Amino acid sequence: MVIGPKEPVAARQRGDLIKEKLAKLELVDKNHLKLMLCEVDSFVIELCCRWQEASMIKLLSKTSEFSLINEKLSGMWKLNIRFEFMDVLNDFFLSKFYQDDDRAKVIEEGL
């Protein structure tokens, strides 16, 4: 499912999400010591737009530190422009390519 526009989304300025009414705090089980942060749908869509065309990558080698994996892949892929890499969990990663040629190269050639 594609959410939002295909144009790149500008980086969001840091700010108070509650004050801007983009998120709210709710009590869990009516306990004042347990708070849950709930996002407004428009804010979630804004966050998702950035990763809408990302590729899911599963590493089959032994687990390494995230920064080492990112550096090693950058050297191996030799892409035209930078890419973003995000650790999802359990050796799965999201990779965002900013050129279709770079994405195709990684998908076709792999590691």
- pLDDT value, residue 12: 62
Query: Stretch 93-98: mean pLDDT, rounded?
Result: 84
pLDDT digits (tens, 9 = 90+) for 27-55: 889 888 888 878 777 767 776 777 777 77
- Coil, strand, or helix at residue 49? helix
- pLDDT value, residue 3: 35
- Residue pair 83/97 in contact (Cβ under 8 Å)? The answer is yes
pLDDT exceeds 60 at position 5: no
- Please tell me which residue, 9 or 76, carries the higher pLDDT value: 76
pLDDT exceeds 70 at position 4: no
CA 93, 25, 13, 1 torsion-angle sign: positive
Q: Which of 50-54, 61-65, 93-97 has the lowest mean pLDDT?
A: 61-65
